[in-house]
Amino acid sequence: MFSWTKHAIPPGWRRSRTVKILALLAVLHPAARAEDRLSGTVDSLLADRQFERALAVYQKAAEKSHLSFSRDYRVAAQLAAYLRKDETAFLFLKQAVSRGWEWKKFRKLSAFQPLRQLPQWKSLQQQYPALRKTYLESLQPEVSRLVGNMFRKDQRKAFRAMLCFTSRGQDRYAERAFAPHSERQMARFQQILNTWGYPGEALVADSWRSSVILTHHNSISAKYAQRDTLYPSIRPGLLRAVQAGQLAPVTFAQIDDWYLVVKSEWKDKGYGYLSAPETDAERQRANALRASLGLSSVTTLQRLREVETETGIRFFLP
């Protein structure tokens, strides 16, 4: 089934019954960057409720410019506020704003309630328009326009699949109508990747539009994924983007997860984001794939959700 929401459930989500699982572990990942492993370390500390140590790791990484993504600054700001380290909280919050965090997205977060009565909050509010303007000017409008056009085309095509009321009809539409469109999209995406790098938050303010385009392609059908050569040809460039700090490891993992799971007719649980691992072997595989990118294990992610509920800190988990 195609999705036409921004969080897209890609087209071939239904489990084809015609394709055999290809391999347990198709491709090995290069080692994650130190920055990405740092993120996994912080997540483990947070899951263990070692908040002071987690904040210290964030501070040290920020001093060395080892935080590539706004999520790190958003979590660090909330963590500092939770610990009532107000000056540190405002420093991280200002950095998060400088990386695109919108005022309307964070002003009512419960973690920041202690800060809202402080004079620094009003000062940040006054600085916000200038910080936002500087951030927007740092983006690449041409790339954003290209990705936006591709995304809208994808959503229009995906919406038409909603008119197919059977699994067989959706698969037929995906393979006959959506696949040729998606192949053209992949060619354009490869050009963007080669010219500018991955069109994520540093270039176009977000990663979800690009990831939706890629996951739509990866989920056309099991039959299509088995013979697909386009995503495998783009995949090394995505891994290079991870290494360069342009693409968040978790975003790559979610894109890759669709490919592994759909290609195997949902027998391979992959990273465990799309289809929850149920056996010890599936959890071990998911954890190994995640560890290769410096991502949190299945258990750590579950524990982080508990801490999120307990503290009111939003971790922006997948």
At 300, the pLDDT band (50, 70, 90 cuts) reads very high
Q: What is the DSSP string of 280-297?
A: HHHHHHHHHHHHTTTPPP
Please give the structure tokens belonging to residue 12.
Answer: 């071939």
pLDDT in tens, 222-270: 999 999 999 999 999 999 999 999 999 999 999 999 999 999 999 999 9
To the nearest whole number, what is the mean pLDDT of the chain?
88
Predicted local distance difference test score (pLDDT) of residue 165: 65
* Residue 219 contacts residue 10 (beta carbons within 8 Å): yes
* Residue 125 contacts residue 103 (beta carbons within 8 Å): yes
Closest CA to 27 of 270, 213, 313: 270
pLDDT in tens, 163-179: 776 778 888 889 999 99
At 35, the pLDDT band (50, 70, 90 cuts) reads low
Predicted local distance difference test score (pLDDT) of residue 264: 97
pLDDT in tens, 152-163: 999 998 887 777
pLDDT in tens, 64-105: 888 889 999 999 999 999 999 999 999 999 999 999 999 999
39 or 66: which leads in pLDDT: 66
pLDDT in tens, 212-225: 999 999 999 999 99
Rg of the Cα atoms in the chain? 20
At 26, the pLDDT band (50, 70, 90 cuts) reads very low
Chain centroid to Cα 233, Å, comes to 20
CA atoms within 13 A on the CB side of 123: 9
Poorest-confidence range of 16-25, 92-101, 190-199? 16-25
Q: What is the pTM of this model?
A: 0.87
Q: How far apart are CA 276 and CA 106, in angstroms?
A: 30
Q: At a CB cut-off of 8 Å and minimum separation 6, what does 314 contact?
A: 74, 75, 78, 109, 111, 308
With both helix axes pointing from N to C terminus, report the angle between 51-63 and 86-98 in degrees, rounded to the nearest 10: 50
* Averaged pLDDT, 265-279: 96
